[in-house]
Chains A and B, each alone.
Chain A
Amino acid sequence: MESPKKAMPRSFEDVVLPHLDAAFNYARWLTKNDADAQDVVQDASVRALRFFSSLRDENARAWLFTIVRNTWYGRFPRRTGTAVVNVPDEEAEHRPDVGLDPEAQMIQQQTVEHVRQALDTLPADFREVLVLRELEGLSYKEIAAIVEIPIGTVMSRLARARERLSGVLVPAN
C-alpha cells in the first residue's frame, strides 16, 4: 500500500495505520480469538485517534501496543486463568532435561499450530512478553514501558515464559 508523500505533518494514516497488523496480532494473542481482538483493536484505534496529538517522537508501534493493552484490560478485567498471580513467582516448575534438544524433538510434530497451541496455554502475561519480544522484536525497555513493569521483571518474566514454553512444547515423558 503506497502512502502519499507528505513528509511534514505526521498523520494518523502514515504513523499509526501501518501498525494495524501488529496491533491486531498483539490483541489476537492477548484475547485468543478473532472477534475480541477485532473489538479491542477497533476501540484502541478510536482512542489512538483521540490521543494522536499526544504522540511525540516515540515509537508509534509501541505507543499503539500500550493503547491496545490498556483497552484489553479495560474491557476484559483480569480473569482467573490469565492473571500472573496464579503463577508461582519462584519457579518450583520443572526444568526441562538439559539433555533434550527441544528443536530436535519438535522435528516430527513441528507445526505452526503446535507452537500456537503451546503459546495459548501460557498465562497472558507470559504470552505477551514472548510475543512482544520474539514476534515484534521489541527491547526490554520498550516491553517494560508497554507492560508497565520494571526491566528486571521483563527479564525474569521472559525467562519463566520460555521455561514454561519448553515444558509445553516438549512434554516430559
Chain B
Amino acid sequence: MECREVDDLLGAYLDGELEPAVSTSVRDHVEGCTTCRQRLANLESIGRMVRRAPYYQAPAELRAKVMHARARSAPRHWLGWAAAAVVVASLTGSIVFVRSSTRPHAPDPVDAVAEEVVSAHVRSLMGAHLFDVRSTDQHTVKPWFLGKLDFSPPVADLVQAGFPLTGGRLDYLAGHPVAALVYTRGQHTINVFVWPEASDALRLSDARAIRGFHVRHWVRGGMSYWAVSDVNDADLDEFVHALQQ
C-alpha cells in the first residue's frame, strides 16, 4: 500500500470500520512508515479531544414538556382505535359494539391523587405559573398564604440541606385548594403540595415513580404532603428527610 492510499483509510482504520484484510494491510504499512504513524497518532489525538467535548443534557423543562405531550397523546391513541373500529364496522356491515378495554379500572384514590400531583407539577413547569409569591424567605412565603387558604402550611427553608426555597403558589388538587411550595436542587424543581388531612393517621413516606418523575407522599401533623420532582431518588429522599426534621 502507498502512503496516499493508507492516509485515506486511517480514519476508518481507527474507527474499526475496515474489512479485516484491508485493516491488516494498513497496520503493516503504518508499522513501517514514520509519516503515516505520526498521522495516525494525530488522528487518535483528535479523537480523544473531540470526546472531551460537552455532552449536553436535556433540560428538566424539556423533559417535562415531552412527558406532557406523551400524557396527552394517550387518549388520542384510543380515539384512533375507536375510529378504526367504526370504519371496520361500516365496511363489514356488521354492528360492532366496541368496549373500551384500554380504560384502566377504578384506580386507588391515592394513586389518582398521585397522578394529579404529577400533572400539577408538569403544569407548573410548563407555563409561567410556577410562582404566585417568589421569595427565598420563608417569612415572606408563609404569610402570603394567610387569608388565601383555610390552613397555614408549614414553610421551611432548606437551604442548609442544599434545597433552597424559591417560592410558592396556590394550586388546586384532589378537589380543594392546596399550598404549593417550590424548592430547587441545582437545575431541578421540587414541588411540595400541602393540604390538611382529615384522618389523623401518620403515614410514612410512600415512594413511587410516575411518568419519569419521583413522588413521595406522607401524612404528618394533620397535613398531607406530596413532593414531586425529576431529581434522582436519593436526592428526593434526602429532601423529604430534611423537610421532616
Contacts and interface: CB of A to CB of B under 8 A. Distances in A.
Interface stretch (B59-67, B113-121, B178-186, B215-223): B59-67
Contacts of A110: 49, 52
A98 B61 CA distance: 47
B12 A45 contact: no
A155 B50 contact: no
B58 A20 contact: yes
Given A45-B69, A102-B42, A162 B11 contact: yes
Main SS class of interface, A: helix
B12 A102 contact: no
Interface string A91-109: 0000010111111001000
A17 B12 CA distance: 31
Interface stretch (B33-41, B91-99, B135-143, B145-153): B33-41
Interface in A8-37: 12-13, 17, 20-21, 23-25, 28-29, 34, 37
B233 interface: yes
Contacts, number: 125
Contact of B57 (A2, A25, A101): A25
Interface in B89-126: none
Given A1-B209, A45-B69, A135 B233 contact: no
A128 to B, nearest CB: 12
A140 interface: yes
A34 B211 CA distance: 24
A70 B59 CA distance: 21
A25 B15 contact: no
Given A42-B62, A45-B70, 16 more contacts: A12-B70, A17-B66, A17-B70, A20-B62, A45-B69, A49-B69, A49-B73, A102-B45, A106-B49, A112-B52, A119-B53, A134-B53, A135-B50, A158-B12, A159-B11, A166-B42
Interface of A: 1-4, 12-13, 17, 20-21, 23-25, 28-29, 34, 37-38, 41-42, 45-46, 49-50, 96, 98-103, 106, 110, 112, 115-116, 119, 130-131, 133-135, 139-140, 155-156, 158-159, 162, 165-166, 169
